[in-house]
Structure 1
Amino acid sequence: MNELDERYVTVEEAIVDAFFILSSEKEFEKITVSDVVKKSGVVRSTFYNHYENVPALLSAAEDKTIEDIFQLMESFHPKDDHQLCKSYFLAICNYTKENKFLASVLHSPRGDSFLEKAMMMFHKYVATVSQGNAMNINKQQFSYLIAATIGATLGVLHKWTAEACETPAEEIADILTTIFLNGVLPFMEN
């Protein structure tokens, strides 16, 4: 990556990070370009070099959040190992707790479109992962079982964030681990 590319990525990260901060301070619809440039320290023209408007930035922030979650998933390979599963789900819980944007989007009117976008990306991921699937189920069944895992995980995270993450992340990770190991993994092994 050359110096210009690095600067472009750095500026883009500053803009998205500023948006993440702003999203914990006010509703998405009330965030303006002026807010973002002030918080990020970039000039207005630089903002427009990267994003057409705030809705385009919101979409990019959603994409970054989904990519972060998928990076966590990349290191997870389902085995009947309670500690491995708990570590994975604890990482997801900690990411959710630290990323106020994710909690905000889950509870906003955009929540449905965010989940739809996440599921579309997830199906691409499942298609790639299931090509090397050594389990004794077909790709469609595998895709549905993974979708069930994601749906259950998102449902639990939605409830947890609605309750201001009062329950310790370790307890939520235990719940998610139990759901996966007892509710989904046995079907994958059939």
Structure 2
Amino acid sequence: MVVKADRRVVKTKQIIRKAFADLLVTKPIDEITITDIANGANINRKTFYNHYSGVYQLLDEIEQEIVTAFAADLAEFDFDQYLTNPTVIFKKIQAIVDQNYGFYKNLFARSGDTNLLSKIATVLSAKAVSFFENKQPNDHAKIRVIADYTIFGMMAVYQGWFNSDYQLNIDELDQLLNQILVNGIQRIIAEK
């Protein structure tokens, strides 16, 4: 039997999240207080504490929902396609980000105290390990290293690109990542 959430609780949490999202556009996460959120949501601090123990619990709940939605999108994800076009993953992440750019910009910022990209990378890495183990079932240790190196590296690249540390557009980034995946780093450096 599925228990429905009380509509008042759902509405209050939505108001709290909206106030938090609005604050993220203008403040780093570590500077947002419960009072800021309560004032933005037009509630008192006690109401906030009825739902969350603090800002980071609220952040964690939001991140977990994003990761769960991302994992559901990956259910039919084809890692063979990823190997020839890594920006498929970037485009999935960017579609999420585009829904509320200001909110996600702060979540993805290097200075933000968030684990969202790491959580997404963990989901992707597990999916990659499962995919590659179907092709090479006896090499779990090697597959794990390859998956983690590739996926966590890709997430670091995405975060750097998102934060505009790279002077590449998404197509140039895609081309470079494809070259790295197909040819390796030494060959690319040797070509320069």
TM range (shorter): 0.5 to 0.7
Q: 1:53 to 1:159 in 2, by over 3 A?
A: same
CA distance in structure 2 between the partners assigned to 1:165 and 1:100 by the alignment: 20
The alpha-carbon deviation at position 40 of structure 1 amounts to: 3.5
Q: State the secondary structure of the residue aligned to 1:110.
A: coil
CA distance in structure 1 between the partners assigned to 2:5 and 2:179 by the alignment: 47
Task: Pick one of 100, 104, 110 that aligns with 1:107.
Answer: 110
Per-residue Cα deviation, 1:153-177 (whole angstroms, up to 9, x for no partner): 2221222123178754454455445
Moved over 6 A (4+): 81-84
Q: State the secondary structure of the residue aligned to 1:134.
A: helix
Q: How many residue pairs were aligned?
A: 180
Q: Which amino acid aligns with 2:136?
A: N
Q: Give identity over the alignment, percent.
A: 22
Query: Equivalent residues in 2 for 1:1-190 (5 A)?
Result: 1-5=2-6, 7-80=8-81, 85-96=86-97, 98-105=100-107, 106-108=109-111, 110=113, 114=115, 118=119, 122=122, 126=126, 130=130, 133-137=133-137, 138-163=139-164, 167-180=168-181
CA distance in structure 2 between the partners assigned to 1:154 and 1:104 by the alignment: 16
CA distance in structure 1 between the partners assigned to 2:124 and 2:160 by the alignment: 26
Determine if contact 2:124/2:151 at 8 Å carries over to the other structure. no
The alpha-carbon deviation at position 19 of structure 1 amounts to: 1.8
Q: 1:94 to 1:28 in 2, by over 3 A?
A: same
Q: Which residues of structure 2 form unaligned runs of 5+? A: 185-192
* Greater C-alpha radius of gyration: 2
* TM-score relative to the length of structure 2: 0.66
* TM-score relative to the length of structure 1: 0.66
Q: How much is the aligned-residue C-alpha RMSD, in angstroms?
A: 4.0
